[in-house]
Amino acid sequence: MADQPVQQNSSDEIDLGQLFQMIGRGFQKFFNFIGSIFKGIFHAIILFLLFVQKHIIVISTALIMGGAIGYVLDRIAPEKYISKMVVEPNFNSVQQLYNNIAFYNDLAKAKDSVALATALNITEHEAMTINEIFADSYSDENQKIKLFDQFIKELDTTTIKTIDFENYLKNFNSLDARFHQISVISTDNRVAKKMQPAIINSISVNGYFKLQKRINDENLNLQDSIYRQQLIEIDSLQSLYRTVLVKEAEKPMQGTSINMADNGQSQSRELALVQERDVLKEKLVELNEERANKSSIVNVISDFPTRGVEQKGILKSYKVKLPLIFLVLVFGLLTLIEVNKYLKSYNKNKRAFQSES
C-alpha cells in the first residue's frame, strides 16, 4: 500500500513525457512542412533562373526587338486624346444612354465611319479618328448614402426592416448611380466636343422620355399651385385670427373676468399656422430643386472640354507593351519546347524500361 503513490507519480510522469514528445513531434512536423514549402519555392526559383540562363540570348533578343519596334511605333503612331463628360440621366434613361454609347463604340471598333458620322453628326474623317467610346458610373460613398436614403423612403415599413445599407451596396448596380461619365478616346482632340449634342439629343428625342418629362413637369406645376394656394389660405386665416383678436380686445371689460383659455387657444392656432407656413416654404424649395434637377432628360454636369487631354501612362506606350508581349510569347514558346523535350525523353525511357523487363 505504501508503494501506490510512487507508482501513481511515475505513471503521471510517463504520461506527461509522452504528451511533451507528441507536442515536440507536432512542432517538428509543422516546421518541416514550412521548410519544405520554402525549399520548394527556392527550387522553383533556381529552375526559373536556370531556364533564363539557358535561353538568355533568345529572351534578350525578344526584349530588344520589342523595345525597338515599340519605339518606332510610338514615333509614327498618332497621339491619342481622352475627353470626359459627366451627365445625370433622368426618367430612367440611363439604360438607353449606355445602349447608345455601346452602339457608338461598336461602330468605332468596326471602323464604320459612315454610320458613326451619321449617328454623331460629324464628318467621316472625324469619325475615323475615334478609337473608343465608353461610359461608367461616377459615384462616391456620400452619393450612395443619399441614394440609399431615397430608396428606403419609397418602401413600406415591413420591407425597410429587411434591408440595410450593406445589403444595398451588395446589390448596387452601376446604373443606379446618379452621375455617369462618358469618355471618348480619339486621335483628334476636338472631336468629342462636336459629338456632345448628338449624344445628348439621342436620349432627349426619345418619345417615352419626352412623355415622362412632360408628365413630371405637369405634376410639379400642380404641386406648386397647391402649395401656393395653401399659403394664401394660411395668410387669410392668420389675418382672420388677428382681426378676431383685435375685436375681442376692443370689447369693454365686464368685471374682472379674463378668458385666458381662449387667448391661449388663439395663440396656439396662430403658432400652428406659422409652423405650417414654414413647412410649405420648405416644400416649395424642394419642389424648385427637383424642377431644376429634372429640367432636362439628361443633365450635363460637366461638358466635354474644347480640347482633349493626351493619354499618358507606362502601359499606353508601345515601347513598354511590345517587349512585355514578346517576352510572354517567347516564354510560352520556350516552355512548350522544353515540355516537348521532356515528353520525348520520358517516352524513350519508358520504352527502354519496358524492353528490359
Assess whether 56 and 117 both reside in one domain. no
116 and 10, same domain (yes or no): no
- 198 shares a domain with 84: yes
Indicate whether 173 pLDDT > 70.
no
Stretch 220-236: mean pLDDT? 89
- Whole-number pLDDT of residue 246: 74
In a domain, 45, yes or no: yes
197 with 233, same domain: the answer is no
147/209: higher pLDDT: 209
Say if 255 falls within a structural domain: no
pLDDT beyond 90 at 119: yes
Considering the domain architecture, whether residues 307 and 167 belong to the same structural domain is answered as yes
Please, what is the Cα angle at 39 between 24 and 342, to 5 degrees?
A: 135
Least-confidence region, from 53-57, 222-226, 246-250, 271-275: 246-250
Instruction: Among 324-328, 330-334, 348-352, name the one with the lowest average pLDDT.
Output: 348-352
Grid coordinates representing 77? 503612331
Instruction: Give the residue, 23 or 252, on which the prediction is more confident.
Output: 23
User: Of 262 and 309, which is predicted with more confidence?
Assistant: 309
Q: What percent of the chain has pLDDT over 90?
A: 32
**3 pLDDT exceeds 70?**
no
Q: Does a structural domain hold residue 254?
A: no
Q: How many CB atoms lie under 10 A from the CB of residue 209? A: 19
Q: Is the pLDDT of residue 219 over 60?
A: yes
In three-state secondary structure terms, 91 is coil
% helix / strand / coil in the chain, to the nearest 5?
A: 75, 10, 15
Kind and range of the H or E element at 135?
strand 130-138
- Choose the weakest-confidence range: 89-93, 107-111, 179-183, 255-259: 255-259
Asked whether residue 197 carries a pLDDT value surpassing 70, the answer given is: yes
265/201: higher pLDDT? 201
* Residue that the C-alpha cell 472640354 belongs to: 305
Residue with the bigger pLDDT between 145 and 199: it is 199
- Residue range 168-175: average pLDDT? 67
H helices of 171-259, in order, are 191-204, 207-250
Contacts of 168 (CB under 8 A, 6+ apart): 144, 148, 151
For 85, what's the count of Cα atoms within 13 Å in the CB-facing half-sphere?
27
Looking at the fold, whether 149 and 28 belong to one and the same domain comes out as: no
Residues 309, 289 share a domain:
no
Rounded Cα gap, residues 29 and 37, in angstroms:
12
- The answer on pLDDT for 221 being more than 70 is yes
Q: How far apart are CA 112 and CA 107, in angstroms?
A: 5
- Whether 15 and 61 share a structural domain: yes
Residue 129 lies in a domain: yes
Q: What is the pTM of this model?
A: 0.66
Residues 114 and 90 in one domain: yes
Within this chain, do residues 167 and 28 fall inside the same structural domain, yes or no? no
- For residue 256, is it within any domain? no
Could you report the per-residue pLDDT of 121-157, keeping only the tens digit for each?
999 999 999 999 999 987 666 666 766 666 676 666 6
For residue 128, what pLDDT is reported? Answer: 94
Cα separations in angstroms, 288 against 105, 164, 230: 37, 30, 17
Percent of the chain at pLDDT above 70? 78
- Judge whether 325 lies within some domain: yes
**Same-domain status, 92 and 238:** no
pLDDT above 60 (res 245): yes
Cβ–Cβ contacts within 10 Å for residue 15, how many? 10
Fill in the amino acid letter for 149: D
Q: What is the DSSP string of 179-190?
A: EEEEEEEESSTT
Q: Above 70 in pLDDT, residue 224?
A: yes
Which residues make beta-bridge pairs with 135?
182
Q: Do strands 298-302 and 81-89 pair parallel, antiparallel, or not at all (unpaired)? A: antiparallel
Q: Is 18's pLDDT higher than 70? A: yes
Question: Binning pLDDT at 50, 70 and 90, where does residue 98 land?
Answer: very high
> How many domains in the chain?
3
The SS3 assignment for 34 reads: helix
20-28 mean pLDDT? 79
Higher pLDDT: 341 or 301? It is 301
The answer for residues whose C-beta is within 8 angstroms of residue 304's C-beta and 6 or more apart is 83, 84, 85, 184, 192, 193, 195, 196
Q: Which residues of 87-117 are buried (b: 16+ CB within 10 A; e: fewer)?
A: bbbbbebbebbbebbeebbebbeeeebeebb
Report the chain's mean pLDDT, rounded to a whole number: 82
Q: Using N-to-C axis directions, what is the helix angle for 318-356 and 56-76, rounded to 10°?
A: 150
**Per the domain annotation, does 118 fall within a domain?**
yes
Mean pLDDT in residue range 244-272:
62
Give the pLDDT of residue 29. 83
Residue 258 has what pLDDT?
Answer: 47
169 or 89, greater pLDDT? 89
Same domain membership, residue 160 and residue 114: yes
Q: Domain range spanning residue 126? A: 79-206+301-316
Residues in Cβ contact with 318 at an 8 Å cutoff, skipping those fewer than 6 apart: 69, 70, 71, 73, 74, 77
Q: Give pLDDT, residue 2.
A: 47
* pLDDT higher than threshold 60 for residue 8: no
Q: 82 phi and psi, to 5 degrees?
A: -120, 135
Mean pLDDT of 101-105: 95
Angle at 131 between CA 129 and CA 133, to 5 degrees: 115
Summarised one tens digit per residue, pLDDT across range 274-305 is: 788 888 889 899 889 888 888 899 999 999 99
Within-domain flag for 276: yes
